[in-house]
Structure 1
């Protein structure tokens, strides 16, 4: 079974041709969709559409625990999370890619952990993203001459609404990009010792820039970004080594009380 999993949207199709669709039962209910298995340039990959096959699950209702558990159950060790984000800084432009290195959690009512008792665990999140995969995808983007930022802090909000102007001005003091899906997806992956990298595609400037966010505009720019993400996956995934030496799974050694 594949050791690499992709969580994203319909933009993944075009580089990934599924040959098998697997229905996975989890203790946390149904995942967003069946997990599709296929190959990208000879590398076995599992793909799970975060918002469902027809994009009918809003960000605050995604069953993140079921999604991560399903991929882990199938043997996935590394997750590539693809997200659409807004920009909080002038130099982070629509159409740019960000290889996220930090996040701030402003979500409010999601299921954040697999450990709700009787077993108790506290997982370190100081450096939440896989350094090995971050390096691979940043360097690949540079090779492909895709506009890319090596670092960026992602502030995750509950959604599905966009920010007020006051919220946007507050967030831009601490972060470069803003979205609705990174948390708790990355946290749950960490709890299972899985690697996680976030390829964030900027679709718009958030409302601090004096232009209200328009959902249709976001969709249009995201479609333009899809080609960049596809090229990045095609070139980057074959570079991921089969054996993990990044230390992401080491957190399991010290997390349990």
Structure 2
């Protein structure tokens, strides 16, 4: 019986507290609306006057070289993970927004650049891709130069055998093997076995800016303003009630 009375009393107290809270909110609704409006209007002004940022994206396929006739011997011109880190370090002062590997793919890197206009973002991204392609072309040229040097060395040996400067048993067999190696090396540096680093598709841009995010800014400002204004109202009500108690 006593327990039921305590529960009833507690319920009535909670009901009274909720009524008091509601009365406080209604009494100060103009203050709440004013504070919320000021913060929201400030956010709107910021959202529509802040500098706009535009985005350009590109997906780059890292080149590779096949050095085995059976197709099993392949290596990329640069390890994609190392490439991502290298570009991030290289452009640390004027870094693109994001450089990352494309998920569930092999040798694809996505580069995203932000700038004050689509034209500037596209230009900056094109510079990054062009510089990357030049770096990888140098790797290909060095590889070709090494293979060509080997070919010239083998040709020189073959010519000596053909001219009869070197004669021994089995020289014809060695001459044939040298010719076979020369053909294999020529095949390794053919365009069929060398894939240069290239841009997949075109650099993509949007007609709209990606920053500032107007709707998000205004929504967050409105919610924040509402919460702060309610907190302010209850805080001031608490101070005023304490003052009254002190006077009494």
What TM-score do the two structures reach when normalised by structure 1? 0.20
Whose helix fraction is larger, Structure 1's or Structure 2's? 2
Larger of the two Rg values belongs to structure: 2
Whose strand fraction is larger, Structure 1's or Structure 2's? 1
Identify which of structures 1 and 2 has the higher relative contact order when contacts are C-alpha pairs closer than 8 Å and 6+ apart: 2
What TM-score do the two structures reach when normalised by structure 2? 0.20
